[in-house]
Structure 1
Amino acid sequence: MRNGGNRKIHLFLLLMVTAVFIWSAIKPASYLSWLLEVSPAVVGLIIVIAAYNKFRFTTLSYAIIALLSISMFIGGHYIYSKVPLFNWIKDAYDLKRNHYDRFGHLLKGLFAIVLREILLRKTPLTKGPWLVTIVLSMSLAIAALYEIIEWLVSKISNGGEAAKNFLGIQGDIWDTQWDMLCSFIGSIVALLIFSKLHNRLLKKEVTKE
């Protein structure tokens, strides 16, 4: 049976995410931009919570999901291109843009660990080169899909202010390619750093399904 000793940690993560979500909804820079930015995280959280008793992830995967959700709530509250800390970094180092968007996409590479867990537990795949290849391919596909969704939102809204904030291009014609590259690099780094820890947690917290 799964180790039930981590329920308190999972509950703490949920409460932390909920608190940041409530904060992000209080007087955001733009409510429409906020809705566009936080919706993917909210939908994902609902799915994860609904499946908790049927498919319980490792604590590492839940921590990653919580971190990614919080990063999206922060971006939604301020608008990605105007997050204060990264505005300070921009001014301090005389950068051309606020890089919170790039940072957010790099963080999204951590989702590779969640994908890795799903594949190991729900498919015949085992640890090895094919698993890494498929996880990286899925990560890149998700990053590309997200960029397509951003483009569609921009087209549907005829390039309104909220859509421009959602796109967060900041004048860079290669922004889409940079975002996908950041997610891909983040996925590679996540697999290199966390795979061994993930293996230990899978053995400790999850029975073979």
Structure 2
Amino acid sequence: MKGKSIITTHVLLLLIVLAVFIWSIIKPHSLLSWLLEATPAIIVLIILLSTYKKFRLTTLSYFIIAIMAVLMFVGGHYTYSKVPLFNWIKDTFDFKRNHYDRFGHFIKGMFSIVIRELLLRKTPLTKGTWLFWITTSISLAISAMYEIIEWLYFIIDKGGKTAKNFLGNQGDIWDAQWDMVLTLTGTILALLFLSKLHNKLLQKELGKDHSKV
């Protein structure tokens, strides 16, 4: 993809995200819960829009960010433990919990591609073992930081209803560990299966050849 077609694709992704954003803020389950869940996505979108002309990412990175934003807006609208589709899956397969939160953390592992791009373009790192493990470490660190934020809010809110919705552990004492393991799994799979495509897009869209480094 070149020039206008790339920008058109980016605009379409933005419009989809904005449409879901507008829907999500209309009569959410809890406005405060929505703010807690959606704020990280909103901040990232503002940064991307403000830096688009100066530092444009690959379409793959924007696609991953769009998916994550949609997931967070949907989770914010219903709260993660009450997303209807995953309630249906829970009832159909007799699961003990709504797994939307777990699914979301697994998908968040795909953000490692965005991290990989920033490292390739803004640091001396090149393709190889160091890039893989540093990207993985940063991805896992972000996941752990998010769990710490959830824990801190739970303490500040003294275990209130909003805090429980935000924490979303659904009675599982190992929920934080599961979330980090799923993010780690998603990270490793994304790096293993998407890195070659990412290298091609870096070269085609940005003229940066990382296929041989």
- Partner of residue 113, structure 1: 113
Aligned residue runs from structure 1 range 174-189, under 5 A:
174-189=174-189
**Structure 1: distance between partners of 2:93 and 2:175:** 20
Identity %: 64
TM-score between both structures, scaled by the size of structure 2: 0.95
Residues 26-41 of structure 1: pairs in structure 2 closer than 5 A: 26-41=26-41
Structure 1 spans left out of the alignment, 5+ residues: none
Shift >2 Å, 4+ stretches = 2-5
Report the Cα offset of residue 152 of structure 1.
1.1
Structure 1 Cα separation of the partners of residues 206 and 4 of structure 2: 10
Q: CA RMSD in A?
A: 1.2
Q: 1:60-209 alignment to 2 at 5 Å?
A: 60-208=60-208
Mapped to 2, the partners of 1:40 and 1:154 lie a distance apart of: 18
Which amino acid is the alignment partner of residue 109 of structure 1?
Answer: G
TM-superposed deviation, 1:207: 3.1
Deviation for aligned residue 1:4:
4.8
Cα distance in 1, alignment partners of residues 90 and 147 from structure 2? 24
Residue matched to 1:12: 12
Deviates more, 1:3-12 or 1:43-52: 3-12
Q: How many angstroms does 1:157 deviate by?
A: 1.4
- In structure 2, the gaps of 5 or more residues are none
Cα pair 1:3 1:206 within 8 Å, conserved: no
Measured after TM superposition, the shift of residue 208 of structure 1 is: 3.9
Query: Could you tell me which amino acid in structure 1 is paired with residue 194 of structure 2?
Result: F
TM-score by structure 1 length?
0.97
| Matches of 2:208 and 2:35, distance apart in 1 | 39
Cα deviation, 1:95-134, whole Å, max 9, x if unaligned, reads 0000000000000000000000000001110000000010
User: Shift of the alpha carbon at 1:154?
Assistant: 1.0
